[in-house]
Chain A
Amino acid sequence: MQSVQFSAKFEYLDEIREFVGDIARAGGFGNKDVYNIQLAADEAASNIIEHAYEGVSNGVLELSCEVRNDIITIIMVDHGESFDPSAIPLPDLKADLSDRKIGGLGIFLMRKLMDEVHYETKSNRSNVLTMTKRKR
């Protein structure tokens, strides 16, 4: 498992996508999967920066990633407010333009793009988000 720490700021999203993209590609994932894995990681990190660390300027995001047995695992740990993605209602994708909700889209994409999204709040005030996807 390769790990790296990022300052929880939007300007590091490029590097976050690059980190998981390189590991996915080296692990044999194709272009479409690599793009989707990067998108899921971006959405997850954006949510942590925006919600878990809302109003916090020195938050840290720990990112770990590996490909093993044809499965990519991405783990993101933060020490901000607990924010359970599975508690967010899914957006209504059939809603008219005027009724279309702006929120929840990132989480919806994470769940659609990855096979599994798991969220856990540990007692030592850390939130652990784990996402996996199998190579097809």
Chain B
Amino acid sequence: MEITVQEFKHCDLIAIKGRVDSSTAPQLAQALETANENGKYKLVVDMAGLEYMSSAGFRAMLAAQRNSKKYNRGEVVLANVPVRIREALELAGFTELFKSFDDTLAAVGHF
């Protein structure tokens, strides 16, 4: 798994590549926490390069969403969610917790 962070004027774009499981999810959690610690609560998670995500990744995203939405200071939104991952998120009841955009531009433009 590989994570790259790009800072925009109104949000940060966090792109995940590869596979997120119990082994790699702590890295994702760390990247999201670091953004929050730097005062960034408006986050776009770009999943275009994501091949796989287990519930360990879902949990990291849930924790970030909770922290980011506190005091209405921001939120985590998703972009380019691959079909298999969208199906799993739906099954887990996570699609109601995250706004999802078909492309990165629309997601960044949301903020």
Residue positions of A touching B, CB distance < 8 A: 10-11, 13-14, 17, 31-32, 35-36, 38-39, 42-43, 46, 49-50, 91, 93-94, 97-98, 100, 102, 105-106, 108-109, 112-113
Contacts of A13 in B (CB 8 A): 21-23, 54
Contact A109 B23 (CB under 8 A): no
For the complex, what is the distance from the CA of A63 to the CA of B88, rounded to whole Å? Answer: 23
A-B contact count (CB 8 A): 65
Interface of A is mostly: helix
For the complex, what is the distance from the CA of A109 to the CA of B62, rounded to whole Å? Answer: 16
Residue of A nearest to B21 (CB): A13
Contact B91 A112 (CB under 8 A): yes
Q: Which of A11, A91, A97, A105 contacts B69 (CB 8 A)?
A: A97
Instruction: Decide yes or no: A49 and B22 within 8 Å by CB, A39-B88, A97-B69 being known contacts.
Output: yes
Contact B93 A93 (CB under 8 A): yes
Contact A42 B21 (CB under 8 A): yes
Contact A43 B55 (CB under 8 A): yes
Instruction: Decide yes or no: A14 and B93 within 8 Å by CB, A32-B87, A43-B55 being known contacts.
Output: no
